[in-house]
A and B are shown apart, each in its own frame.
Chain A
Amino acid sequence: SQQGEEDPQALSIQEGENATMNCSYKTSINNLQWYRQNSGRGLVHLILIRSNEREKHSGRLRVTLDTSKKSSSLLITASRAADTASYFCATDAGNAGKSTFGDGTTLTVKP
């Protein structure tokens, strides 16, 4: 079954609000990555957090990792309409360098 699972499946917020999405996984990992995908396009790598890190920031993005709970969260602060996209987590479990992707959270930011 899926290594990474995101929730919620869909999230709709107003511009300026914060968006939080979560990812849970099943096995021990080397790192966890978050990606954004605009409709009909490829994925864009946003941020990677290693298993020995607990929090990481990049611009308006904040990622946390709790390895004891096997979960991660992605927070987008002060959201913009341009943040509307699907967001995927992916886990690298040291499985020969392959990352496993979750099924994504669809974020809609209303202007």
Chain B
Amino acid sequence: EADIYQTPRYLVIGTGKKITLECSQTMGHDKMYWYQQDPGMELHLIHYSYGVNSTEKGDLSSESTVSRIRTEHFPLTLESARPSHTSQYLCASSEFGRDYGYTFGSGTRLTVV
């Protein structure tokens, strides 16, 4: 079983609320990623990090922000949620310089009403 955890698993919130999606990994991986995925669709990279205090925007424009204060923790925050943010958010990690692929969390299914 993957050692990367996302909480909450499901979240339904009202428009305008601030939310933080949590992602933690216990593998000591340097690289972490957030992807957004609509049901049955491709994954879009929204944020990534190469290590502590490193964060970058991904290929898909997103109104969310991330932080990386600790190696194991990579939370994603939406300051003001909107219905257009309804989606599945997947967190992943990988090890620098190793061809092992990504380890994914189980995802957070967000619904903004």
Partner-B contacts on A (CB < 8 A)? 2, 30-31, 33, 35, 40-45, 48, 50, 86, 88, 90, 92, 96-104, 106
Contact = CB atoms under 8 A, between A and B. Distances in A.
B106 A48 contact: no
B21 interface: no
A97 B54 CA distance: 14
A103 B2 contact: no
Contacts of B81: none
Interface in B68-113: 88, 90, 92, 94, 96, 99-107, 109
A48 B98 CA distance: 11
A41 B101 contact: no
Contacts, number: 66
B43 A101 contact: yes
Nearest to B10: A40
A3 B42 CA distance: 11
Interface of B: 2, 6, 31, 33, 35, 40-43, 45, 48, 50, 58-59, 88, 90, 92, 94, 96, 99-107, 109
B42 A42 contact: no
Contact of A98 (B48, B88, B90, B99): B48
Given A2-B42, A43-B92, A48-B100, 20 more contacts: A35-B101, A35-B104, A40-B88, A41-B106, A42-B6, A42-B104, A42-B106, A45-B103, A88-B43, A97-B31, A98-B33, A98-B48, A100-B45, A100-B59, A101-B35, A103-B41, A104-B40, A104-B41, A104-B42, A106-B40
B95 to A, nearest CB: 10
Contacts of A99: 101-102
A43 B100 CA distance: 14
B19 to A, nearest CB: 19
Given A42-B2, A42-B90, A97-B50, A50 B99 contact: yes
